[in-house]
Structure 1
Amino acid sequence: MATSAQPHDDNLNAAPMLGDHLAMDLLNTEARNDDKTVEYWHSDADVLRWLAQHNIFPVAGSSAFAKGELLLQAKALRTLARQLIGAFKAGKSEDISGLNTYLHTYHSALHVERDKEGKPLLRRIASGTTIASLLGPVAEAVALLLVEANIDLVKQCEHPDCILWFYDRTKAHKRRWCSMALCGNRYKAAQFRKRSNG
């Protein structure tokens, strides 16, 4: 891959949420477009927006963090997750102590509340410092993927120009593309052009 680039299209300003698993969406905050790495996180605000898309918000009354600290730690967690998930997919053993560091600083408690229909709903809520409470659920998703996921369902898009990941929850487990509308159609168009020119 070449140099890092900002997305050139307004539709690309937000990281794609195509992974069907929080850990996969974490990896997808860095993508590729025209052989250039596309970084979706450039500031703490970018990370906060992405977390909010996943219903993860700062704990009320928590202390603020130093400028750039959330961005730095979120990118470090993403790098660690990429290593661990890549090793998991390749059937290799990797040092998990870095992931435990994130998990051990994430303090949470179980909380019962009512859903829209009035039925009891059990949730885990953060009760620690701001960054730990924000990144804890993401680290937990990575850990749960490594412990509970079916390795065959952790996939990377088959399009040669795409690096996005997803968890294949389709009934037949035959998903090949991060998105049929994006890479699936690009692939089909390329195959059509090959046949037409061949």
Structure 2
Amino acid sequence: MSRSTTNRRRARFTIGNDTGVMVANLTHGAYSFEAPNHEFSLSFDEFGDDDYLTYGQLRTLKRQLENFELLITEVTSDDVSLYDVIQGLHLTKQYNDYLKYVEDLADTEFDVIDYLAVESLEEFIEESTADEFKEALSSRIKDPLIETSVSLYRQGELNDRFKIIDIQNTRPKGEAEDFWRDIDASLE
């Protein structure tokens, strides 16, 4: 993650539909999307794959961005910041949670971010304390945390018993007891 030392404007302004934006796949597996008007399609093979889109195209992906299936990682314009794009898409609350937990930044520091790395999510899961992780599970980034944690568990990289129990406790009643057992069975 790189940070700029200059403060950027916080006021809203019009972002051109042709402004370039990089998005990355936060799902652990293949991801594809075709715009309803067949204007563009997006296809990723694995976690972390990225692609260039325009701001106009990005607006059709708002639901996927809200759910963190995709992560806005960078804006390719010098006139428009990452914060401007996120604010323009009304995703400020979601990305404030991402910054707070994953990047360990306050929402007041959002305007100095130039780039978000998808690997930061895995690093947070591996390096956070059990209390930090539990708190993050009750935030807007719960779904990508659980999905990434399960992927790390399958790879043998998540061994923290407390985090595993916290994830299990997020499951609906009746599913919690079998959650990890089902994942272990899928590995065989």
**Into which bin does the TM-score normalised by the smaller protein fall?**
under 0.3
- TM-score of the superposed pair, with normalisation by structure 2: 0.27
- What TM-score comes out, normalization by structure 1 length? 0.26
